[in-house]
Amino acid sequence: MRVVALYIDAQVADWPETASICSRFDGPIKTVATADEVYADVAAAKDPVRRGKQVLYLTRNKGAYIRQCPGTSHYTCCGYKILHVGTFCTMDCTYCILQSYFHPPVLQYFLNHADLNAELEQLFATRTIHRMGTGEFTDSLIWEPWTGLSEALIRKFAGQDCCALELKTKTTFIDTLLDLPHRRRTILAWSLNTERVIGSEEQGTASLGARLNAAARCAAQGYPLAFHFDPVVINDGCEAEYRRTVERLFAVIAPRHIVWISLGALRFMPDLKAVVQSRFPQSKIVYGEFIAGLDGKMRYFKPLRMKIYRAIAQAIRAHAPDVCLYFCMEDDEVWQDALGFRPADRGGLTRMLDDAAVRQCGLGNGSRLG
Ligand code: SF4
């Protein structure tokens, strides 16, 4: 979706990066004393979620840049850290939880990068293994048309040996990243889905073929890759369609390039349902066999999740028997059923993923730090 208006927080109005972003923006620009005017603009729209994707607000991150991923109680979480560089997204997936997460939802980009760098330096100095990503409250690469964020982060992470950065996207904005000296400390990651789900539920995103082609170009430049089958959507014929997606993945990407692959079935807080029904009346995505999980999120009935997970895992294992395959927010029963082991059998999920990052990104020079 095209950004049609730019608001600038007066506190960052005379910062060099503000001028740089303004020079790449073609549309009305307004400096505001507080965020209230931006929120009022978005809230007054007929579809505030849509308007929130068309209005970019440049401001400061007034909280911490590095945050612990909230995870979910009762399900196995992976100890990931979030790098909070901005919020919301210019693409428009029907199932996007961000639609009901922010009130109101606004595309914000944070400019106080001296604070970001100070927090990173502090973390790097601990010399302990960490995995982190920018793709939790936004898509990691949507900022490329206006900013040099990814380049700066890739260079920053290349200068240390204990943290892996994951840039997760549904775009193909990789041209400016290909020739950077990344030292394999940055993982470029794509969310994958079936052609049908991408076509009907992921508006404004790159096609499956385009995502895989972008991933192959990054692999050719030595970047480690990751893939996320998330959200897995259950509908008639989905097993064959997910198998087809797996086939297409391994037709262009050799397993040795892949750090990890995650699987996560569609899940959402109950209040998202009304948003999807109103914004995407043609979408059937919220009408599956859902039950409320222990964390209050709606999930497919467990036997259905296990069945589709078994099918996808089997297809992946046929091509990449040793790849680190994990579930986002599932319990031991699901792990055992679909993968044949529980995270605890391998030292826990955090340990599994840290070890994969050590191996593939060369953290700790290939061995775990203390
Ligand atoms: S790409 Fe990700 S962040 Fe953007 S709308 Fe889709 S789910 Fe939301």
CATH of the domain at 235: 3.80.30.30
Instruction: Give the pLDDT confidence score for residue 252 in this predicted structure.
Output: 98
Instruction: Give the pLDDT confidence score for residue 83 in this predicted structure.
Output: 97
User: Over the stretch 6-65, which tens digit does the pLDDT of each residue have?
Assistant: 999 999 999 999 999 999 999 999 999 999 999 999 999 999 999 999 999 999 999 999
Instruction: Give the pLDDT confidence score for residue 115 in this predicted structure.
Output: 98
Cβ within 8 Å of residue 3, ≥6 positions away: 25, 27, 53, 54, 55, 56, 90, 107
Ligand 1 pocket, residue 97 CB under 6 Å: no
Is the residue at 107 inside a domain? no
The region of weakest confidence among 161-165, 304-308, 335-339, 365-369 is: 365-369
Is the residue at 298 inside a domain? yes
User: Over the stretch 203-232, which tens digit does the pLDDT of each residue have?
Assistant: 999 999 999 999 999 999 999 999 999 999
Is the residue at 316 inside a domain? yes
For the chain, the three-class secondary structure string (H helix, E strand, C coil) is CCCCEEEEEHHHCCCHHHHHHHHCCCCCEEEECCCHHHHHHHHCCCCHHHHHHHEEEEECCCCCCEEECCCCCCCCCCCCEEECCEEECCCEECCCCHHHHCCCCCEEEECCHHHHHHHHHHHHHCCCCEEEECCCCECCCCCCCCCCHHHHHHHHHHCCCCEEEEEEECCCCCCCCCCCCCCCCEEEEEEECCHHHHHHHEECCCCHHHHHHHHHHHHHCCCCEEEEEEEECCCCCHHHHHHHHHHHHHHHCCHHHEEEEEEEECEECCCHHHHHHHHCCCCCHHHCCEEECCCCCEEECHHHHHHHHHHHHHHHHHHCCCCEEEECCCCHHHHHHHHCCCHHHHCCHHHHHHHHHHHHHCHHHHCCCC
Instruction: Give the pLDDT confidence score for residue 104 in this predicted structure.
Output: 79
Instruction: Give the pLDDT confidence score for residue 365 in this predicted structure.
Output: 62
User: Over the stretch 283-333, which tens digit does the pLDDT of each residue have?
Assistant: 999 998 899 988 899 999 999 999 999 999 999 999 999 999 999 889 999
User: Over the stretch 182-198, which tens digit does the pLDDT of each residue have?
Assistant: 999 999 999 999 999 99
What value does the mean pLDDT of the chain take?
A: 94
Distances (CA, A) of 11 to 63, 88, 178, 274: 15, 21, 34, 37
Residue to probe by mutation, ligand 1, list 96, 108, 167, 172, most atoms within 8 Å of CB: 96
- Phi and psi angles of residue 193, each rounded to the nearest 5 degrees, phi first: -155, -175
User: Over the stretch 288-302, which tens digit does the pLDDT of each residue have?
Assistant: 889 998 889 999 999
Query: Which residue's CA is the nearest one to ligand 1's atom 2?
Result: 139
Average pLDDT over residues 65-92: 86
Residue to probe by mutation, ligand 1, list 1, 89, 107, 267, most atoms within 8 Å of CB: 89
Is the residue at 25 inside a domain? no
CB 234 within 8 A of CB 304: yes
Distance from the alpha carbon of residue 93 to the mean position of ligand 1, in angstroms: 6
User: Over the stretch 47-62, which tens digit does the pLDDT of each residue have?
Assistant: 999 999 999 999 999 9
Residue that has been written with the tokens 């997936």 in this structure: 93
User: Over the stretch 244-293, which tens digit does the pLDDT of each residue have?
Assistant: 999 999 999 999 999 999 999 999 999 999 999 999 999 999 998 899 98
For residue 370, name the pLDDT band (cuts at 50, 70, 90). Answer: very low
Ligand 1 pocket, residue 53 CB under 6 Å: no
Give me the count of residues in the chain: 370
Specify the higher pLDDT residue, 102 or 91. 91
Average pLDDT over residues 360-367: 80
For residue 367, name the pLDDT band (cuts at 50, 70, 90). Answer: low
Instruction: Give the pLDDT confidence score for residue 72 in this predicted structure.
Output: 60
Rounded-to-integer distance, Cα 127 and Cα 160, Å: 9
Closest ligand 1 atom, CA of 138?
3
For residue 120, name the pLDDT band (cuts at 50, 70, 90). Answer: very high
Specify the higher pLDDT residue, 104 or 59. 59
Say how many domains are in the chain. 1
Instruction: Give the pLDDT confidence score for residue 215 in this predicted structure.
Output: 98
Residue to probe by mutation, ligand 1, list 84, 93, 138, 203, most atoms within 8 Å of CB: 93
Residue 235 sits in which domain range? Answer: 62-87+112-366
Ligand 1 pocket, residue 230 CB under 6 Å: no
Is the residue at 27 inside a domain? no
Is the residue at 314 inside a domain? yes
CB 105 within 8 A of CB 98: yes
Is the residue at 54 inside a domain? no
Ligand 1 pocket, residue 92 CB under 6 Å: yes
Is the residue at 98 inside a domain? no
Residue that has been written with the tokens 């009305």 in this structure: 28
Ligand 1 pocket, residue 170 CB under 6 Å: yes
Query: Which residue's CA is the nearest one to ligand 1's atom 6?
Result: 93
Specify the higher pLDDT residue, 100 or 333. 333
Does residue 239 surpass a pLDDT of 60? yes
Rounded-to-integer distance, Cα 276 and Cα 49, Å: 11
